[in-house]
């Protein structure tokens, strides 16, 4: 006789708690699919050993197991095949609070380390500074990036502000790439908005460093995952973008640039 033990499952998107032998097919509270449920207490605090990374891979989607995950998983497979040192972070599993906008008070108020030490962003700051390259993935929310990714990027202001307070740009010359997936319009605008943050920190966009896909407003969003998953050309482009980033990292661009002049705030 098979005994199915009940356990508590928690939706990573909205926090809904469900009791059962397996998660529900759909979250009763936010309609997220089963993939967003994890066993209660399974989420460990974010930790980082401080070792240098080749690439930091960020999934900026509220639904870490949905459309954006398809592109992220294709890219991650490339990173594994290339045997680079990487770390994947799903932002919906990390506690990142909104930016306090200390800079708006006066330049020197925005400090590094960040004044807000009450969440997990300080660990992400360490990862970012220790990563030779960055690969960012986002869905399209109202012609822009996800709110979670926006909070994460806003919180990089303290790194960018080192240019003003210390005359330093610790990430200058490092390569980055962007993956975007959405239901309707706004793919390239989303990618540009993301890149603007990194350009202000001195990052460079790797050649063909943006891959995106949209489905269309004439379709129900429930059809999007299958459409994305079956898009062979997008899979090819995503893999190429990831490989180009790996090649750029291996070139050690900051060293090849030599002196990089700070010319923006």
Tell me the C-alpha to C-alpha distance, in Å, between residue 144 and each of 168, 193, 222, 248. Answer: 29, 7, 20, 27
104-116 tens-digit pLDDT: 999 999 999 999 9
pLDDT one digit per residue (tens) for the chain, 265 residues: 444 568 899 888 888 899 999 999 989 988 888 888 888 876 678 999 999 999 999 999 999 889 999 999 999 999 999 999 999 999 999 999 999 999 999 999 999 999 999 999 999 999 999 999 999 999 999 999 999 999 999 999 999 999 999 999 999 999 999 999 999 899 999 999 999 999 999 999 999 999 999 999 899 999 999 999 999 999 999 999 999 999 999 999 999 998 899 987 6
Cβ 245 vs Cβ 213: under 8 Å: no
Residues 200, 214: Cα–Cα separation, whole Å: 27
What interhelical angle do 67-81 and 232-250 show, nearest 10? 50
Tell me the C-alpha to C-alpha distance, in Å, between residue 12 and each of 9, 34, 235. Answer: 9, 10, 26
- pLDDT recorded at residue 40: 80
Residue with tokens 């994947």: 88
- pLDDT recorded at residue 45: 84
Tell me the C-alpha to C-alpha distance, in Å, between residue 56 and each of 19, 105, 110, 221. Answer: 35, 31, 24, 29
Cβ 113 vs Cβ 165: under 8 Å: no
Residues 198, 208: Cα–Cα separation, whole Å: 16
Residues 6+ apart with CB under 8 A from 179: 68, 71, 72, 75, 135, 136, 137, 138, 210, 211, 212, 238, 241
Burial class (CB in 10 A: 0-12, 13-18, 19+), 173: middle
- pLDDT recorded at residue 176: 98
Please give the model's pTM, rounded to 2 decimal places: 0.90
- pLDDT recorded at residue 38: 85
Residues 174, 178: Cα–Cα separation, whole Å: 14
Residues 155, 149: Cα–Cα separation, whole Å: 10
- pLDDT recorded at residue 1: 43
Residues 105, 107: Cα–Cα separation, whole Å: 7
- pLDDT recorded at residue 3: 47
Structure tokens belonging to residue 188: 């390239």
Tell me the C-alpha to C-alpha distance, in Å, between residue 98 and each of 61, 120, 124. Answer: 16, 12, 14
HEC assignment per residue over 167-218 = CCCCCCCCEEEEEEEECCCCHHHHHHHHHHHHHHCCCEEEEEEEEEEECCCC
Nearest-10 Cα torsion for 27, 179, 139, 89? 50
| Domains of the chain and CATH, by start | 7-39 (2.20.28.10), 53-257 (3.40.50.360)
């Amino acid at each position: 006789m098979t005994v199915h033990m009940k356990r508590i499952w928690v939706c990573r998107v909205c926090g809904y708690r469900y009791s059962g032998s397996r998660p529900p097919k759909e979250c009763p509270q936010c309609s997220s699919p089963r993939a967003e449920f994890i066993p209660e207490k399974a989420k460990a605090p974010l930790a980082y050993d401080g070792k240098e990374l080749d690439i930091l891979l960020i999934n900026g989607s509220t639904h870490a197991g949905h459309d954006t995950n398809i592109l992220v998983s294709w890219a991650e497979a490339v990173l594994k095949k290339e045997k680079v040192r990487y770390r994947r972070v799903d932002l919906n599993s990390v506690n990142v609070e909104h930016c306090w906008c200390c800079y708006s008070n006066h330049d020197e108020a925005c400090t590094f380390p960040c004044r807000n030490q009450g969440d997990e962003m300080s660990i992400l700051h360490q990862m970012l500074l220790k990563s030779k390259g960055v690969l960012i993935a986002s869905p399209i929310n109202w012609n822009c990036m996800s709110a979670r990714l926006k909070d994460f990027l806003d919180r990089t202001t303290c790194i960018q502000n080192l240019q003003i307070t210390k005359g330093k740009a610790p990430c200058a010359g490092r390569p980055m790439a962007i993956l975007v997936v959405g239901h309707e319009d706004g793919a390239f605008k989303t990618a540009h908005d993301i890149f603007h943050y990194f350009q202000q920190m001195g990052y460079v966009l790797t050649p063909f460093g943006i891959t995106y896909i949209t489905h269309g407003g004439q379709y129900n969003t429930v059809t999007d995952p299958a459409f994305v998953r079956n898009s062979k050309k997008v899979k090819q482009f995503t893999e190429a973008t990831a490989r180009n980033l790996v090649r750029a990292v291996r070139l050690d661009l900051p060293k090849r640039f030599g002196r990089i002049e700070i010319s923006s705030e």
